Structure 1
Amino acid sequence: MAKLKIIILLTLLIANHSKAQDIKPSEVKNVMKKVADWQIAHFKDLYSNRKKPHHPLDWTNGALYVGMVKWAAMANDDKYYNWLKGIGEAHQWKLYHRKYHADDHTVGQLYIELYRKYKDENMIRPTKKQFDFIMYHPSVSALNWKTPYHQDRWNWCDALFMSPPVWAKLYNVTGQKKYLDFMLKEYKATTDFLFDKKENLYYRDESYMGKLDHGTKIFWSRGNGWVFAGLTNIMNELNPETKEYKYFLKIYKKMAKKLLEIQTPEGHWAMSLLGQQFYPTPETSGSSFYTYGLAWGINKDILDKEAYIPAVKKGWNAMVSYVTDEGMLGYVQPIGAAPGKAWADQSEVYGTGAFLSAGSEVYKLFGGEL
């Protein structure tokens, strides 16, 4: 009987190990290409019931570019870099129109990545000029929701994906610590305001504090996905030995532990993170961001492989299952600020960006070489 138990245990261990290894890098790359190509072909489509396409510099597309430039680095085909470079050139490398608003800074992440490749100062000059102005004329608005000029600071959690990584990248490529210092000060203010220390998740903004949805606190999946991916993108720019890196790492680890606990059996994360039973519909933008961040943490030897690889595998396989034969990523929640609805036949550009970001780390995790 004892021998039989040992044989069964070994069989289960071997089966689980093989399951953890059955994501093939070539297949990851193939589905990323399919999704990227579909999105470029449908770049000017209408999304989220809009009457006109998103502006190329809008945050929605800014999030797309964050993932697309990762794919461009993997693709062995310059057409993706050329497409991205064409967007910057067409708009003179400017950020979008609101000077302080984090959403309109998002495209700066693309510009800095292209600068790294092409070494053209024109690609980052407008961003540096605008950020210098913000530093020397900082907003003094309160972080409370709907106070005057409140979104001139990062008082909603989405903002932590949009703007802080631009500041971190600018610090890295210029070597000027003033960019990091300003970003860290503002990031701490936002975290002190929106981070729930008991749940280790972020409220979308002040208006959700104290509210319940079917008896659960409201933590929006994509909103926390923005934060988690943003943490990853910030830490990529910092020296792991610095106090700044360790500040972000502490938040990242707390969120990662929570995300592991609340992943659905199907592999995605519920639109209201603590309300799985009330939001059974998959949502792929937030879930792709979590898959991205967790895979990155394993690749960096930050997260325990045995604990987290199954979650990444389950998350990635779920995301891939929602990609149509044509390459459209389905079940992307439309533009919003709270848990809602998503549909198999509806997508959004930021969902594609999240998926491509996830693929870039899953590819490395399962043996792909860049």
Structure 2
Amino acid sequence: MKKMKNLLLGACLMMTSSASATDFQPAEIKQKMASVADWQMQNMDNIPVKFKRHRQLRSWVNGAFFVGMVKWAELAETDKYYTWLKSVGEQNKWQLGDRKYHADDHVVGQMYIALSDHYKDPTMLEGTQQRLDFILNNQSESGLKWGTKSAHERWAWCDALFMAPPTWAAMSAATGDPKYREFMVREYKAATDFLYDEDEDLYFRDSSFFKKREKSGEKIFWSRGNGWVFAGLPLIMEQLPKDSEDYKYFAQIYNKMAVKLLSLQAEEGYWPMSLLAGHSYKTPETSGTAFFVYGFAWGVNQGLLDREQYMPAIKKGWSCLLEKVHDDGMLGYVQPIGAAPGEAWADKTIAYGPGAFLAAGCEVYKLIQTDTK
């Protein structure tokens, strides 16, 4: 049985593309992003049956893909991606998910607000604005301890810091009304005070992990969980004035996390699923890795990170990601829906992984463009 599994794994790996110097040419980067975007567009229903409720185009699984897709649509030399995203918004009637307070149901709003700006159509963001106004007028008094009935009414788990805060920040930028940003900053600080480990400069997934440890004794810091946070920070900061105190607050978290994450990359280019226990998790994982590559490349492009220091990690991480893209455009080794370190497979993917890949690719493309000018 073990021999058969190894043969199957080898067959899957043979289907993937290998990275080379040409993969760092602008045209090659764009070609690879188009391949991944096109495959995922054609396979939006490939979510396992047990997670079928996430097949809704308003779900967080798909909403996270749309975040990367919007960035790719802006870069691509065709309108087809914007047209497709607009059709998704129309199918959704420009509404968020059904759960009023749940951060996961707010992530799709990032796409609506971006399309509203692109098409100069304010009606596209009205549903999102109405939901955020409802929350402002009916603020939850829930605590942040995980496991309580109302914990999901606030940002009590680190994934939420990607899903909701950028939507709130973008709404303030779109409307000129600071109330959305002010709420976002206050709630983000509450979540960070609760979940951020100052000794490790990483986020616990939720309070149930405070005392959990790996078998070898390390604290458990989930790769994709911290990827959600690290990728969410640029999405927030892009919506803030760079000279504002709010920007400085988020930049401070971002820079601390960047230093820590740089030290945790595996030699092969990926980040282990349990960040402090890489020796226990040898399987590559592409969603967390893509989020970290995106965050690093964005930081270099913005002048927040030193290019010489971070470029090797970016290139190594991007090369690792490219190796996991199948010839048909499917991104493999995306850890399934979960809340902790686990497993990933060469022949399995899910939409948030390609979304992270597209976001990373867009920033890597900008870096390489600078190199080739």
Check the 8 A contact 2:46/2:350 in 1, yes or no.
Answer: no
Choose from 351, 355, 359 the match for 2:361. Answer: 359
Name the counterpart of 2:278.
Answer: 276
Is the deviation greater in 168-177 or in 48-57? Answer: 48-57
Q: 1:283-307, CA deviations, whole angstroms, 9 ceiling, x for partnerless residues?
A: 0001000000000000001101110
Check the 8 A contact 1:20/1:310 in 2, yes or no.
Answer: no
Partner SS for 2:271: coil
Query: How many residue pairs are counted as aligned between the two chains?
Result: 351
Name the counterpart of 1:249.
Answer: 251
Per-residue deviation, 1:333? 0.2
Name the counterpart of 2:320.
Answer: 318
Check the 8 A contact 1:20/1:309 in 2, yes or no.
Answer: no
The amino acid of 2:138's aligned partner reads H
Name the counterpart of 2:331.
Answer: 329
Counterpart-to-counterpart distance in 1, 2:175 and 2:47: 38
Per-residue deviation, 1:148? 2.7
Name the counterpart of 2:211.
Answer: 210
Name the counterpart of 1:341.
Answer: 343
The amino acid of 2:169's aligned partner reads A
Is the deviation greater in 293-302 or in 36-45? Answer: 36-45
Name the counterpart of 2:141.
Answer: 140
Counterpart-to-counterpart distance in 1, 2:234 and 2:220: 23
Check the 8 A contact 1:69/1:81 in 2, yes or no.
Answer: yes
**Cα gap change, 1:53 to 1:253, in 2 (>3 Å):** closer
Check the 8 A contact 1:44/1:53 in 2, yes or no.
Answer: no
Counterpart-to-counterpart distance in 1, 2:196 and 2:52: 35
Normalising by the residue count of structure 1, what TM-score does the alignment of the two structures yield?
Answer: 0.92
Name the counterpart of 1:24.
Answer: 25
The amino acid of 1:364's aligned partner reads K
Per-residue deviation, 1:108? 0.1
Per-residue deviation, 1:45? 2.0
The amino acid of 1:139's aligned partner reads S
Counterpart-to-counterpart distance in 2, 1:235 and 1:211: 32
Counterpart-to-counterpart distance in 2, 1:188 and 1:266: 35
Name the counterpart of 1:9.
Answer: none
Name the counterpart of 2:294.
Answer: 292
Is the deviation greater in 140-149 or in 178-187? Answer: 140-149
Is the deviation greater in 290-299 or in 116-125? Answer: 116-125
Check the 8 A contact 1:298/1:308 in 2, yes or no.
Answer: yes
Name the counterpart of 2:262.
Answer: 260
Partner SS for 1:216: coil
Choose from 236, 239, 242 the match for 1:237. Answer: 239
Counterpart-to-counterpart distance in 2, 1:21 and 1:241: 39
The amino acid of 1:362's aligned partner reads V
Per-residue deviation, 1:350? 0.3
Per-residue deviation, 1:53? 6.3
Per-residue deviation, 1:52? 6.6
Name the counterpart of 1:10.
Answer: none
Check the 8 A contact 1:71/1:356 in 2, yes or no.
Answer: yes
Counterpart-to-counterpart distance in 2, 1:48 and 1:222: 22
Per-residue deviation, 1:239? 0.9
Check the 8 A contact 1:47/1:347 in 2, yes or no.
Answer: no
Name the counterpart of 1:55.
Answer: 56
Q: Which segments of 5 or more consecutive residues in structure 2 lack a partner in the other structure?
A: 1-19
Q: 1:259-294, CA deviations, whole angstroms, 9 ceiling, x for partnerless residues?
A: 101110001100000011000100000100000000
Per-residue deviation, 1:47? 3.5
The amino acid of 1:234's aligned partner reads I
**Cα gap change, 1:52 to 1:162, in 2 (>3 Å):** closer
Check the 8 A contact 1:21/1:366 in 2, yes or no.
Answer: no
Per-residue deviation, 1:51? 5.0
Name the counterpart of 1:37.
Answer: 38
Counterpart-to-counterpart distance in 2, 1:164 and 1:329: 27
Name the counterpart of 1:121.
Answer: 122
Counterpart-to-counterpart distance in 1, 2:197 and 2:329: 37
Q: 1:141-160, CA deviations, whole angstroms, 9 ceiling, x for partnerless residues?
A: 00001123111000000000
The amino acid of 1:197's aligned partner reads E
Which aligned pairs between 1:58-69 and structure 2 lie closer than 5 A? 58-69=59-70
Q: Which segments of 5 or more consecutive residues in structure 1 lack a partner in the other structure?
A: 1-18
Give the root-mean-square deviation of aligned CA atoms. 1.5
Counterpart-to-counterpart distance in 2, 1:353 and 1:235: 19
**Cα gap change, 1:111 to 1:265, in 2 (>3 Å):** same
Name the counterpart of 2:71.
Answer: 70
Partner SS for 1:367: helix
Is the deviation greater in 47-56 or in 208-217? Answer: 47-56
Identity %, equivalent residues: 55
